[in-house]
Structure 1
């Protein structure tokens, strides 16, 4: 049985808060609203904006980026934090400090902690640099799209080079005495050290690499072509299927929408969380599982408490936790045998050609371990993490100055051959496949694997708490799982730091153990491995 948290710990704010705390939240809400408005413009640029809109959009996003930065670094925030100094430094079990600090609840102290962290980081970086990073990202996005479409890395290379230089400068302003990549990683995962993250990633790699080798040597035949052998699947019909799966999982359409984008993503707030997907007409599973993945992000965002919108108590904990939600729904639900017992008839209704596919065959097709896949977002559950390793190593080398941008395609291809046994024939299928570097998001990729490990630990705990979760999934009943995740994860916002959140939800510190046990059992059974 896992442990829960009291209402007070979760964010009870009964009674009038101290005046400096109220002022601090007022200032922070302005920051949050500017950033959320920027998010809508960014969504539009990737989904709906006409191609010619880039020059204006670059200026708009740059202005909003500098405005949110200046608001966060403003003296008004600094002054309120100074009055509350020490309020967030006590234990989670009680009030600390004196004067106004003593009047803060645990949840309020956590909000002060989060705002202080962001304020100190913002105050260290010049506004002009923030504007330049934003402008570069806006201009890099269409360049990346063109480069990918034309298989022409040289079109994107100047923007990648500029991003690397700007992010090195950014890291130097934040902390010139530390590894710049470590500083950048903290933008996405501020609560786990890079060393701790690498320990978890290493444990995953040491189990996955020999397991993948054993699977590739296995003589077990899975129904890998259960869907791909049946012809093509029209994009508009796949979109209808993706809408069906979102409805099945419980996506509230009054607070969201589904669109297409070159790279699937989710964005928004607790009132408006949108998802995107893309289609491959040869295989409906790609768009389906991508949609389920983005649903996981959206359901986390939608599960944040409405009443704390615009404050850290109404914001996600950061990307490792966010990725845990997407990977949980994609892998532990969408790739489960129970899910295919329920959802296969819906797929067949949309695509009658699949009428002879059995739930077992659908399950096997969704869980095949590829020998020749080049694309991360289409990767299986195991080799996915080797895709992450390639990106992690390349961007660390770029930021450290150990790799020149011009050499990225060759190094990428060499690493794919070494780690995955395949070599991209084009840069479009190689180093240009992901959107993240066009945004300048160095340090993001490790959170995918960290999120996968966290997802397994959370799902294991949920399965122990919910009477028959497998039966619920097979029946298309996801209410209990939604409630468990909302109660244990979503409703806390950024109240807990990462490890504390996982421990509060599961009763155990965050490790890779549950993930390794899960994949060993699942894929050992699928491929009849001797090691299981």
Structure 2
């Protein structure tokens, strides 16, 4: 006898196959970024592009479409998780069905080739090498965004943003960013003036890669990351990738700046904790995945900035470095380490920026993305526009493109529309920490001992466990008490912390 949800059950079976394929695709990408032999690049580009096209074909097949339609008649018999899963799947299907396999293959091939070219171009500071690859990616992204814009009846920019941050619009992002643009420059100057009188000791002794890795692994353990379901490796650009049961993290090492590597590890571990604590029951369904990159970045930034740069955690870090790694001297005192991790100064590299100037790095990228998409800007024009906006927002101009428009992997990888999630994520992270401390007053004293127990419990109970079962505004309300991103709350936090 047929079940009243027979079509929906068959849909879940098909979605599980697609999820498994995506998981394998992510591991192929991780392998390419961490250990691929030089002469294997061309074949891997083709393999990743083909794999992506196959997944796209499966996701937009007539079979999936028919099962989605048939499942609509079974909604009354579905539980809330199943209803959310069906809605999420239909939204994804509608956004992808207008893209042919040929177009998807071209995007995948263009982005894979561009990402590999970017690694060489950045290492050699050779932007000219990257130009044709970037133009190919930009053209592919514009073509896809235009098709989806026509299908979904919204702007190309909103289409791209929604793909990374479901439910968010470019106008909403502009409203948030306008508040930051109006207040951050003056706030930054006040903090810089205040910090001028502080004595800070630079970390002068090089720390080898093996020691940095050992420190990173120890911190991952204290944060609650399960190494039996994940690992840490090295790459040009730190990232987190993989499935709920196989989370791959990477960082990069600089012997003269171990703090950069360590906080890269803390950031990516925040991503990893989100992945590892998503609802296990729905691990093979869209509803069991993370709800976009703004929430994903909130999970990394609550660990890196809200917890990692607070005085309590810095006290723990100083004790750990002394007791477990024999780091001695005034430069490793808790007071000096805190000054180092809260130093505010305009800088060229986004991932190393302090949390006060960081949003300005994102705002300039968001504005450039709109120019790329809406004005058909060519890659060759990128350095000049980048440098002018760096001057406008941060008052500095990079001497090389490697420290400028080539520093990020996102555009070579075709991820236009991703960047706003970082700053929205930073604001959400602050909102989450306020809510978490309101429920668990012991969070500060626990961080002082290197414990993330109460913080992780709050995040598990109020955000991670919901996967993608809620709309963005509803998940934000459930986890922070607010249904929209609060930039003024973030400004108040920065003023309290730094002034």
Distance change (3 Å), C-alpha of 1:73 and 1:233: same
Q: Which of structure 1's runs of 4+ aligned residues deviate more than 6 A? A: none
Describe the superposition over 1:204-256 as per-residue Cα deviations: whole angstroms up to 9, x where unpaired: 332222201222333643354x342x222222211111111111212111011
Distance (whole Å) between structure 1 residues aligned to residue 179 and residue 84 of structure 2: 31
- For 1:87-126, what aligned pairs fall within 5 Å after superposition? 100-126=74-100
Task: Return the offset for 1:350.
Answer: 2.4
Match of 2:334 in 1: 359
The question of 1:188 aligning with 2:188 is answered no
Alignment map for 1:410-429 (pairs within 5 Å): 410-429=384-403
Q: Which runs of 5+ in 1 are unaligned?
A: 1-15, 86-98, 525-532
Q: TM-score, normalized by length of structure 2?
A: 0.95
Q: How many equivalent pairs are there? A: 493
Normalised TM-score (structure 1): 0.90
Q: Distance in 2 between matches of 1:21 and 1:506?
A: 33
Residue number in structure 2 paired with 1:95: none
Distance (whole Å) between structure 1 residues aligned to residue 84 and residue 265 of structure 2: 33
How far the C-alpha of 1:498 sits from its partner, in A, is: 1.2
Contact 2:18–2:55 (CA under 8 A) maintained in structure 1: yes
Instruction: State whether structure 2 residue 464 is matched by structure 1 residue 490.
Output: yes
2:209 is the counterpart of 1:235: yes
Q: Secondary structure at the match of 2:74?
A: helix
Aligned-partner Cα distance in 2 for 1:497–1:308: 17
Q: CA deviation at 1:351?
A: 5.3
Root-mean-square deviation over aligned CA pairs: 1.6
- Please give the alpha-carbon distance, in whole angstroms, between the structure 2 residues aligned to 1:78 and 1:400: 31
SS of residue paired to 1:282: coil
The correspondence of residues 58-69 of structure 1 with structure 2, limited to 5 A, is 58-69=45-56
How many angstroms does 1:61 deviate by? 0.9
Q: Which of 252, 255, 275 is the matching residue for 1:281?
A: 255
Q: Which residue of 1 aligns with 2:344?
A: 369
Measure the CA separation in 2 of the matches of 1:60 and 1:268: 18
Residue 442 of structure 2 contacts residue 454 of structure 2 at CA under 8 Å; is this kept in 1?
Answer: no
- Please state if 1:506 is matched with 2:462: no
- CA contact under 8 A between 1:327 and 1:451: conserved in structure 2? yes
Confirm whether residue 337 of structure 1 aligns to residue 311 of structure 2. Answer: yes
In 2: Cα distance, 1:125 partner to 1:519 partner: 43
Kept in 2, the 8 Å contact 1:54–1:138? The answer is no
SS at match of 1:428: coil
Do structure 1's residue 266 and structure 2's residue 253 form an aligned pair?
no
Identify which of 3, 17, 34 aligns with 1:47.
Answer: 34
Distance 2:438 2:461 in 1: 15
- Structure 2: distance between partners of 1:484 and 1:219: 34
Q: Does the CA-based 8 Å contact 2:307-2:313 persist in structure 1?
A: yes
Q: Secondary structure at the residue paired with 1:430?
A: coil
| Residue aligned with 1:380, SS | coil
8 Å contact from structure 2 (residues 330, 336) kept in 1: no
- Deviation (angstroms), 1:53: 1.2
Alignment partners' CA distance in 2, 1:499 and 1:223: 44
State the shift of 1:432 in Å: 0.7
Aligned to 1:218, the other structure's residue is in SS state: helix
Distance in 1 (CA, whole Å) between partners of 2:21 and 2:102 is 17
* Residue 161 in structure 1 maps to residue 161 in structure 2: no
Mark the CA change 1:56 to 1:223 in structure 2 (over 3 Å): closer, same or farther: farther
State the partner residue of 2:67.
Answer: 80
Kept in 1: contact 2:424–2:485 (CA 8 A): no
| Residue 309 of structure 1, CA deviation | 1.1
Q: What is the Cα deviation at residue 198 of structure 1?
A: 1.9
